[in-house]
Amino acid sequence: SPAGMVLSVLVILLLSMLYEAIKMGKALLLRRALLALPHSLSQESLMEPEEGDPGSAQGRWFGYHVGQTLFHVVQVVLGYLVMLAVMSYNAWIFLGAILGSTLGYFL
């Protein structure tokens, strides 16, 4: 039905926008993780946390790494869902994915 097609295109558009937003969130987490690393990148500074420092660089870096991993999993799942929808070979779904990706990147 026409209403079902409009709803499908809208859902794909929103999924594409979310995909782009997650990509940006992953980049922000990477920047924060790099800033959390100690100035000296010796093995000792990464392996041995400073005592009495609950927010040590190692702990912050690990937290950011876990966050990046979760963002990556969600990004891959969304990417495959959008790809699966596009592989339906429906021109409207394809245009919804392209428009959603464009709007998501722009915003």
pLDDT tens sequence across 22-35 = 998 888 888 887 77
**Is the Cβ–Cβ distance between 61 and 36 less than 8 Å?**
yes
User: What is the C-alpha separation between 30 and 66, in angstroms, rounded?
Assistant: 11
User: What is the C-alpha separation between 7 and 3, in angstroms, rounded?
Assistant: 6
Give the helix ranges, DSSP H, for the chain: 2-36, 43-47, 57-86, 91-106
Residue 101 lies in a domain: yes
Q: Give the domain range for residue 64.
A: 12-38+57-106
Residue 46 lies in a domain: no
Q: Above 80 in pLDDT, residue 75?
A: yes
Residue 1 lies in a domain: no
> How many domains is the chain partitioned into structurally?
1
pLDDT at residue number 38: 67
Residue 90 lies in a domain: yes
pTM here?
A: 0.73
52 vs 14 pLDDT, higher one: 14
Residue 48 lies in a domain: no
Residue 96 lies in a domain: yes
- Mean pLDDT (whole number) for 24-52: 69
- Mean pLDDT (whole number) for 52-67: 71
User: What is the C-alpha separation between 11 and 54, in angstroms, rounded?
Assistant: 43
Residue 65 lies in a domain: yes
Residue 69 lies in a domain: yes
